[in-house]
Amino acid sequence: MTDFPPPGDASALERGGVLTPNFDASGLIAAILQHARTGEVLMLGWMNAEALRRSLDTGEVWFFSRSRRALWRKGDTSGQIQRVVEMRIDCDQDAVLVRVEPQGDGGVCHTGARACFYRVVENGALVERP
């Protein structure tokens, strides 16, 4: 089952005890992956209702690819499965923070970097930093 109850009013969204994700017009919600032990922000992806439901049900992170228009489990090809330790939702339920324990070699980025945020903006240029 991928259906979630529709979002309620501001009070229900902000203080209610029911998960009612506030998906955007494309049916997506932003999902930030954070390393559960170190606190490092690893990546940003997008979930539709099915990806969110599968992540909750399986304990592994699933995303929806906007370019391929397809559901995918993080790590299927790389071995970098992301195990869910805790899932949080922001105040208006339109973004999810997923605290994870990375599997495989501990990385998450398809480029081979540990995290997707491996570049720093300096004077308008991008500089790689660990």
Pick the CATH number of 20-105+112-128 from 3.40.50.1100, 3.90.180.10, 3.10.20.810, 3.30.70.2860: 3.10.20.810
Q: How far apart are CA 18 and CA 5, in angstroms?
A: 8
Contact by Cβ (8 Å): 70, 60: no
Percent of the chain with pLDDT over 90: 84
- The least confident of 47-56, 70-79, 95-104 is 70-79
Average model confidence (pLDDT) for the chain? 94
Domain ranges of the chain: 20-105+112-128
Q: pTM, whole model, 2 decimals?
A: 0.92
Residue 2: pLDDT band with limits 50, 70, 90: low
Q: Where are the beta strands (DSSP E) in the chain?
A: 29-35, 41-47, 62-65, 70-73, 82-89, 95-102, 119-122, 125-128
pLDDT on residue 116: 94
Which residue bears the tokens 């991928």? 2
Q: Give 60's DSSP letter.
A: B
Contact partners, residue 65, CB within 8 Å, separation at least 6: 46, 71, 72
Q: What is the mean pLDDT of residues 81-85?
A: 97
Q: What is the mean pLDDT of residues 19-27?
A: 96
Rounded Cα distance, 28 and 6, in Å: 14
pLDDT per residue as tens digits for the range 25-73: 999 999 999 999 999 999 999 999 999 999 999 999 999 999 999 999 9
- Is it the case that residue 1 has pLDDT exceeding 80? no
As a whole number of angstroms, the distance between CA 55 and CA 88 comes to 12
- For residue 30, give every residue at least 6 positions away whose Cβ sits within 8 Å of its Cβ, in sequence order, or none: 44, 45, 46, 94, 95, 96
